[in-house]
Chains A and B, each alone.
Chain A
């Protein structure tokens, strides 16, 4: 089957001259990739799954004892871990919703002929090209209650963006929105430019209102590509670490990735953290599956 799909090797090529067959060349490309995947992804994945059923600690010489589902039971009955999950859910919701609204809004604004459109689009894309840690440090200065420029412009005096436990998570989400709304904008722009112009012309002839045109033509046609952006951003937001870690250390901003890092690399509870990582993995896979199902539904429409 595979050989039918493959195009045949040109008999005059250098590879053919060296006596390499189509199959050899295919193997030359594929085997290293598969070996890499097995060694660095699949093997650690299975190895950590085994660890998740033990009380292993990488920092000691003590042998790992099999504890069954104890780690999973302990984690799922720990109120602090549930708090981490609910904080993460809240963060994903705020951050992804914000990115979609801002990103799609920007794309709508840019989807028309305006002067210097290319330059504006490029400038808007800059935030997502920066490193997360740099963005975190940079916004920490902007949010500073003593000399931060944000309070100065908003006239908020000494408002404590990152120190106030009730506000800190929103402050981090704002930074994430600033950084990643351009990504949603970029994909939305691609979707918007693919909407056939004759549909809008027909709507205009029918004297359809702007809102009607948006909800009946623009949104349904952009929806599939917008869904892809949402899937990507949800997965990324779910595992956010750097931004939140750099910006604030409030218990109200302790996302699951931060808790997992502390458990694995500060407390060296290797078995327990492997179990935790599996719980997170299952959740991400489940959420992504729901999205993909919905995406297929949207596409079918």
Chain B
């Protein structure tokens, strides 16, 4: 009996040992749970076919992404070899020693020119203009807009709009037109509303929405070199931008007080609104008849210009970094070498990923591949981002605490809100010795 047991145990041990050794090398990439992560898994499956190295894309919901990633970093954990981290993490992750310095890799492969300039500046470099790189731009993304083509092209609506506003109803070219159209289509009695915007005050959702207005109005969040904020984030242009964003909130559907990408796509799929703000990465779902009954009537446009013709958009997207605590750093670098190849980037775009490769982005093939790729291509050359300093989360909290009560709660004025925010940010920068 005993011999039998020993032989069974021996057999089991052998089976387990051979099972785990099927892959000589394994790599784990950590990212948020969304469609691009699935596309990346499809892409890395091809890497496995080529090299035999098994790559797994592990995901977690967006709401949990930052907390989980930094918990692992702070514990110096080696669970993840690479991470597709948010652009604003660069400061915290590089200064904290969590990311491997990729400057040599970057220069060796001339990535500063291979990837679109905005993606290099915001996804890879920290501090700004330092020539130090911590990530390879992986998923380009920015905020754009979807709209209901059938509502916009309805002859009766077009005539009524022209009569009321004196110009043709078409995708808006500036924020004034955007506001007019939102007002025009806002008809609560018909269960039809003007616009869907970001209002969720957790993490960076609402701040990204407001940034679209602030940047296009020609204002800035501050001076990224000197960390001055007074006179920037509370400038007259920023105040006008915030007032406009608040005005847009009055044209949103009922209960629009904690909304982000899911709700904004739902606003289109459920036929609630004329226009909806969202990241380009979420637009593929809007073209899918299975997830959007209005897919055939959904159009897209880039974030419109402000009153002075400035046109910018808030940056989303991420770069891929090697985690300092990984036990497979060399293998991870080999993977990155494969990832930046032109043909891999092309395949990445074909699978649905938003490549940051300048050559692929500029190709006719890419720009005509979907109805929103052209808007994406144009947007990626005029994006701006939030602060990427290590204390970015504190800056986001202050922004949420100040902006939300004004936009949703109707408290105070835009000027008071932004003056208070400037004071908060100034105090934070002083606390960390960045500003005088």
User: Which A residues have a C-beta under 8 Å from some C-beta of B?
Assistant: 57-61, 80, 144-146, 158, 160, 162-165, 248-252, 262, 265-269
B409 touches A160 (CB 8 A): no
A-contacting 9-mer, from B11-19, B250-258, B304-312? B250-258
Q: Determine if A266 and B404 form an interchain contact, defined as CB atoms under 8 angstroms apart.
A: no
A266 near B258 (CB under 8 angstroms)?
Answer: no
CA distance A164 to B67 in the complex (A): 28
Cβ–Cβ contact B391 & A267, under 8 A: yes
Q: Judging by beta carbons under 8 Å apart, are B253 and A262 in contact?
A: no
24 A-B residue pairs with CB within 8 Å: A58-B74, A59-B70, A59-B73, A61-B96, A80-B401, A146-B253, A158-B188, A158-B254, A160-B255, A162-B257, A163-B255, A163-B257, A163-B258, A164-B257, A165-B409, A250-B257, A250-B258, A250-B408, A250-B409, A251-B201, A251-B400, A266-B203, A268-B70, A268-B74
Which of B92, B200, B397 is in CB contact (< 8 Å) with A262? Answer: B397
CB distance B96 to A265 under 8 Å? no
Known: A252-B409, A268-B393. A146 touches B255 (CB 8 A): yes
The smallest beta-carbon distance between A23 and chain B, in angstroms, is: 38
Inter-chain contact A251/B404, CB cutoff 8 Å = yes
A269 neighbours in B (Cβ, 8 Å): 394
- Out of A165, A251, A267, which one reaches B394, CB within 8 Å? A267
- Whole-angstrom distance from the CB of A263 to the nearest CB of chain B? 8
A residues less than 8 Å from B203 (CB atoms): 266
How far is B397's CA from A58's CA once the two chains are assembled, in angstroms?
18
From A165, A265, A267, B408 is in contact (CB under 8 Å) with A165
Q: Which residues on A sit within 8 Å (CB–CB) of B70? A: 59, 265, 268
Provide the residues of chain B in CB contact with A162, threshold 8 Å: 255, 257-258
Closest chain-B Cβ to A266's Cβ sits at a distance in Å of 5
Residue of A59, A145, A165, A266 touching B74 (CB-CB under 8 A): A59
The contact string, 1 if C-beta is below 8 Å from chain A, for chain B 72-85, is 01100000000000
| Selected contact of A60 from candidates B92, B258, B409, CB within 8 Å | B92
Query: Is A163 in contact with B256, judged by CB distance below 8 angstroms?
Result: yes
Q: Is the interface of A mostly helix, strand, loop or mixed?
A: loop
Residue B202 at the A interface, CB < 8 A? yes
- List B contacts of A266 (CB < 8 A): 66-67, 203, 393, 397
Q: Tell me, yes or no, whether B36 is within 8 Å of chain A by CB.
A: no
Additional A-B contacts beyond A57-B390, A59-B74, A61-B96 (8; CB < 8 A): A146-B272, A249-B202, A250-B201, A250-B409, A265-B67, A266-B66, A266-B393, A268-B74
Measured in the bound complex, the distance between the Cα atoms of B92 and A269 in whole Å is 12
Bound Cα distance from A268 to B96, whole angstroms? 12
B257 touches A160 (CB 8 A): yes
Report which B residues bind A (CB closer than 8 A). 66-67, 70-71, 73-74, 92, 95-97, 188, 200-203, 253-258, 272, 390-391, 393-394, 397, 400-401, 404-405, 408-409
Nearest 7 Cβ contacts at the A-B interface: A163-B257, A145-B255, A158-B254, A267-B393, A145-B254, A58-B74, A165-B409
A252 vs B257: C-alpha distance when bound (angstroms) = 12
Chain A residues, Cβ within 8 Å of B404 = 250-251
Asked whether A249 lies within 8 Å of B73 as measured between CB atoms, the reply is no
How far, in angstroms, from A158 to B255 measured CA to CA in the complex? 8
What residue of chain A has the Cβ atom nearest to residue B394's Cβ?
A267
CB distance from B433 to the nearest CB of A (A): 11
Quick one: which of A80, A145, A249 contacts B200, CB cutoff 8 A? Answer: A249
A74's closest neighbor in chain B, by CB?
Answer: B431
Residue of A nearest to B71 (CB): A265
CB distance from B148 to the nearest CB of A (A): 18
Contacts of B253 in A (CB 8 A): 146
Please pick, from A249, A262, A267, the residue contacting B258 in the complex, using a CB distance under 8 A: A249
| B97 with A61: CB separation less than 8 A | yes
Inter-chain contacts of A262 with B (CB < 8 A): 393, 397
Q: Which residues of B contact A146 (CB under 8 A)?
A: 253-255, 272
Instruction: Identify the closest chain A residue to B258 (Cβ).
Output: A249
In the assembled complex, the Cα of A165 lies from the Cα of B411 at a distance in Å of: 11
What are the residues of chain B within 8 A of A163 when measuring CB–CB? Answer: 254-258, 408
- Residues in A with CB closer than 8 Å to B401 are 80, 251
What are the residues of chain B within 8 A of A164 when measuring CB–CB?
257
Distance in angstroms between the alpha carbons of A58 and B73 in the assembled complex: 9
Minimum CB–CB distance for A80 against chain B, Å: 6
CA of A160 to CA of B255 in the docked complex: distance in angstroms? 5
Q: Are B254 and A160 in contact (CB under 8 A)?
A: yes
The answer for the CA separation of A145 and B74 in the assembled complex, in Å, is 41
Distance of B207 from chain A, by nearest CB (Å): 13
Q: A60, A248, A251: which contacts B405 (Cβ < 8 A)?
A: A251
| Chain A hits for B202, CB < 8 A | 249
B76 → chain A closest CB, angstroms? 10
Complex-state Cα separation, A127 to B150, whole angstroms? 46
Residues of B within 8 A of A61 (CB): 95-97
- Measured in the bound complex, the distance between the Cα atoms of B389 and A60 in whole Å is 12
A59 touching B96, Cβ below 8 Å = yes
Taking CB atoms, residues of chain A closer than 8 Å to B256 are 163
Q: When chains A and B are docked, how far (Å) is the Cα of A267 from the Cα of B48?
A: 37
- A270: nearest chain-B partner, CB-CB: B74
